[in-house]
A and B are shown apart, each in its own frame.
Chain A
Amino acid sequence: MSDDIAAQVTEVICEQLDVAPGDVSLEKTFMDDLGADSLAIVELVLALEEKFDVKIPDDEVDQIKTVGDAVNYIKARLGQ
Chain B
Amino acid sequence: MARRRIAITGIGLISPLGIGLEENWQAVCEGRSGIGPITRFDASAFPTRIAGEVRGFDAERWIPKRQQRQMDTFIQYAVAAADMAYQMAGLADDPPPPERIGVYIGSGMGGLPGIEACYESYKAKGPRHGISPFFVPAVIINLASGQVSIRLGAKGPNFSMVSACSTGAHSIGEAFRVIERGDADVMIAGGAESTITPLGVGGFCSARALSSRNDEPEKASRPFTKSRDGFVMSEGAGVMILEAFERATARGARIIAEIVGYGANSDAFHITMPPKDGEGAQRCMRLALDDAGVPPEAVGYINAHATSTAADVIETRAIRAVFGAHADKGLAVSSTKSMHGHLLGAAGGIETAICALALERGVLPPTINLDDPDPECDLDYVPHTARKAQVEYALNNSFGFGGTNASLLLRRVE
Contacts and interface: CB of A to CB of B under 8 A. Distances in A.
B251 interface: no
A11 B132 CA distance: 19
A46 B65 contact: no
B129 A43 contact: no
Interface string A31-48: 000010001101100100
A35 B64 CA distance: 12
B134 interface: yes
A50 B133 contact: no
Nearest to A41: B133
Interface in B129-176: 129, 132-134, 137
A18 B65 contact: yes
A17 interface: yes
Contact of A50 (B70, B129, B137): B129
A46 B128 contact: yes
A28 to B, nearest CB: 16
B66 A43 contact: no
Interface of A: 16-18, 35, 39-40, 42-43, 46, 49-50
Given A18-B65, A18-B66, A39 B129 contact: no
Which of B64, B66, B70, B129 has the most chain A CB within a 10 Å cutoff? B66
Contact of B133 (A18, A35, A39, A49): A39
Interface size class of B (residues with CB under 8 A): 10 to 19
Contact of B129 (A16, A17, A35, A49): A49
B65 A39 contact: no
Nearest to A42: B133
A18 B64 CA distance: 9
Interface of B: 64-66, 70, 128-129, 132-134, 137
Contacts of A43: 132-134
Contacts of B133: 39-40, 42-43, 46
Contact of A46 (B64, B66, B129): B129
The 9 closest A-B pairs by CB, nearest first: A18-B66, A42-B133, A39-B133, A18-B65, A43-B133, A46-B129, A39-B134, A50-B129, A43-B132
A16 B325 CA distance: 63
Nearest to B66: A18
A21 B70 CA distance: 22
Nearest to B137: A39
Nearest to A43: B133
B66 A17 contact: yes
A39 B143 CA distance: 16
